[in-house]
């Protein structure tokens, strides 16, 4: 199949990305109402198939998305990302608990098998989300429009993924979700922009979610894997959850943006070769 010279067609980028998310969100909406389909594997399978078909049409492969480790640096970025994500969540949780005058109570060690299963589940979840959002659609928009538009556009479907599609939501709640998940989306997108691969973003995403399952921050989810949150629900202020999150997220974005990481996308040469022109031309 002859590769399409797609970098010169911004309309093609919008059409393919819109098609991609229409199908992904549509399948997710159906799955939320059909219990047998409500699985991360259905979600991932949809994104994988769409990415494969669209990349094949453009003369590229799934490996061009930066998901195949080829150097020790890829593994270092992944594990560094896990550590960074866990430290960031711990800092966020610590500030939140302190501001709400709460405390953590150790509930006991659940056992090595449970922890290994938990780690694996968070790895799978983080990989699927980063592949789905920072994979084909983000990189496709990046090549046609540059980082700003790519980053901003991906925040909306990323926010939709974090709401319950089978339940109503008011505009205020959606906008708060869009704000909070949008910062996360920009952070993970920046990880790709700085490294050219998805390993750092998967690591940071996994580390954050893993630590979040261990350290509870709100009375609504007071039971963590290792700790239980004890706080006065009457004195609890949701703003004290929001502000530490925003502050730590912005600090992470600044830290990663100033870090001396490789800034050339791993698949840039393949994309330019398939497109027959330079990005942005």
Using a 10 angstrom Cβ sphere, with 0-12 exposed, 13-18 middle and 19 or more buried, the burial of residue 15 is exposed
Q: What is residue 265's predicted lDDT score, i.e. its pLDDT?
A: 53
**Based on the structure, what is the number of domains in the chain?**
1
- Using DSSP, state whether 229 is helix, strand or coil: strand
Residue 55 lies in a domain: no
Residue 45 lies in a domain: no
Q: What is residue 151's predicted lDDT score, i.e. its pLDDT?
A: 96
- Using DSSP, state whether 221 is helix, strand or coil: strand
Quote the mean pLDDT of the chain. 88
Least confident of 34-43, 91-100, 219-228, 272-281: 272-281
Residue 13 lies in a domain: no
Residues 66, 127: Cα–Cα separation, whole Å = 12
| 198 neighbors 267 (Cβ within 8 angstroms) | no
What would the two tokens of residue 46 be?
């949809």
pLDDT at 264 over 80: no
Q: What is residue 67's predicted lDDT score, i.e. its pLDDT?
A: 95
Residue 38 lies in a domain: no
pLDDT in tens, 62-79: 999 999 998 899 999 999
pLDDT in tens, 196-215: 999 999 999 999 999 999 99
Residue 166 lies in a domain: yes
pLDDT in tens, 120-170: 999 999 999 999 999 999 999 999 999 999 999 999 999 999 888 777 888
Q: What DSSP line would sit under 126-149, residue for residue?
A: HHHHHHHHHTHHHHHHHHHH-HHH
Residues 151, 144: Cα–Cα separation, whole Å = 12
**pTM score:** 0.89
Q: What is residue 132's predicted lDDT score, i.e. its pLDDT?
A: 97
pLDDT at 5 over 60: no
Helix ranges (DSSP H) in the chain: 10-31, 40-57, 72-99, 112-134, 136-145, 147-161, 171-195, 199-214, 239-257, 268-275
Q: What is residue 9's predicted lDDT score, i.e. its pLDDT?
A: 78
Structural domain span for residue 109: 69-267
Residues 170, 226: Cα–Cα separation, whole Å = 33
| 3 neighbors 58 (Cβ within 8 angstroms) | yes
pLDDT at 266 over 80: no
What would the two tokens of residue 49 be?
């198939």
Residue 235 lies in a domain: yes
Residue 212 lies in a domain: yes
Q: Find, among 4, 23, 64, the residue nearest to 267 by Cα.
A: 64
| 201 neighbors 143 (Cβ within 8 angstroms) | no
pLDDT at 55 over 90: yes
Residue 110 lies in a domain: yes
């Amino acid at each position: 199949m002859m590769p399409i010279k797609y970098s010169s067609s911004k309309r093609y980028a919008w059409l393919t990305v819109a098609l991609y998310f229409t199908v992904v969100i549509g399948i997710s909406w159906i799955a939320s109402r059909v219990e047998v389909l409500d699985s991360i594997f259905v979600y991932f399978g949809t994104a994988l198939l769409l990415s494969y078909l669209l990349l094949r049409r453009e003369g590229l492969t799934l490996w061009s998305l930066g998901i195949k480790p080829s150097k020790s640096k890829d593994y270092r970025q992944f594990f560094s990302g896990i550590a960074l994500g866990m430290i960031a969540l711990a800092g966020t949780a610590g500030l939140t608990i302190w501001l709400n005058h709460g405390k953590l109570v150790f509930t006991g060690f659940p056992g090595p098998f449970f922890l290994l299963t938990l780690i694996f589940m968070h790895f799978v979840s983080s990989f699927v989300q980063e592949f789905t959002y920072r994979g084909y659609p983000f990189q496709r928009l990046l090549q046609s429009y540059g980082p700003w538009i790519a980053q901003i556009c991906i925040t909306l479907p990323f926010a939709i993924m974090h709401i319950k599609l089978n339940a109503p939501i008011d505009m205020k709640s959606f906008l708060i979700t869009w704000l909070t998940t949008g910062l996360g989306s920009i952070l993970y997108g920046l990880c790709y922009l700085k490294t050219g691969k998805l390993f750092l973003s998967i690591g940071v995403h996994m580390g954050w979610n893993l630590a979040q399952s261990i350290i509870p921050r709100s009375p609504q989810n007071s039971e963590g894997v290792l700790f239980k949150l004890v706080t006065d629900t009457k004195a609890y202020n949701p703003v004290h959850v929001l502000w530490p999150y925003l502050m730590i997220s912005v600090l992470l974005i600044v830290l990663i943006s100033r870090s001396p990481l490789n800034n050339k996308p791993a698949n840039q040469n393949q994309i330019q070769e398939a497109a027959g022109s330079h990005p942005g031309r």
